[in-house]
Chains A and B, each alone.
Chain A
Amino acid sequence: GENVEQHPSTLSVQEGDSAVIKCTYSDSASNYFPWYKQELGKRPQLIIDIRSNVGEKKDQRIAVTLNKTAKHFSLHITETQPEDSAVYFCAAYTGGFKTIFGAGTRLFVKA
């Protein structure tokens, strides 16, 4: 089955710096890769996603890149702000629309 690995597990940056979170997946049939932000005790919120026919997607300060050949995708957050502090999960959609999540990255943005 699909396996999604996510790194780093913890990331601490200064306000205004960029943050990059990387994920790899194992199932070449996976074709959709969402990223979720989860604040403590709350539901995960979709922040950006990318489909397998696209290499890069950007939405304001957030961008995602996908390398299908290498089976890895990354989340880039620029000009980080304290409110970006949360746990971020990458995920991959397998056949049957099951979503397999990475282990999560706890992002701390220091003011």
Chain B
Amino acid sequence: GAVVSQHPSRVICKSGTSVKIECRSLDFQATTMFWYRQFPKKSLMLMATSNEGSKATYEQGVEKDKFLINHASLTLSTLTVTSAHPEDSSFYICSAGPTGVYGYTFGSGTRLTVV
């Protein structure tokens, strides 16, 4: 149980375009989803917390107009990187839950390359 599907796994886009990443909980309802960004050989940095039906809460330093998060249902959250630039290239991972008291399950991640 507690499977989280994230798509796409890899995406290459041109500078200036927008990219949407989906995170779905397949067998449970996720009232909260977290979005993380990971640079090569670095830790996961929390970008934002998304609660179903509410506006996302962004961490300090994360541009909410650039990283649009939508959590319209209990099984789906999306992260849209708008007007992407090469510096946005990174590994983006979602985490959904709770499953149990503390459980959160990670998606498989999306490697974004902006050229």
Contacts and interface: CB of A to CB of B under 8 A. Distances in A.
B58 to A, nearest CB: 12
Contact of A43 (B34, B97, B106): B106
User: How many interface residues does chain A have, given as a range?
Assistant: 20 to 34
A43 B43 contact: no
Interface string A84-96: 0000010001001
Contact of B109 (A43, A51, A93, A99): A43
Contacts of B44: 44, 89, 101
B102 A93 contact: yes
A99 B98 CA distance: 12
Nearest to A106: B41
A103 B42 contact: yes
Contacts of B102: 32, 34, 49, 51, 93, 97
Contacts of A97: 32, 97-98, 102, 104
B36 to A, nearest CB: 8
Interface string B95-115: 101100010101111010000
B42 A99 contact: no
A99 B43 contact: no
B46 interface: yes
Interface of A: 32, 34, 41-45, 49, 51, 89, 93, 96-104, 106
8 contacts: A41-B109, A43-B108, A43-B109, A96-B49, A99-B95, A104-B42, A104-B43, A106-B41
**What 5 pairs between A and B have smallest CB-CB spacing?**
A43-B106, A101-B43, A103-B43, A32-B102, A101-B44
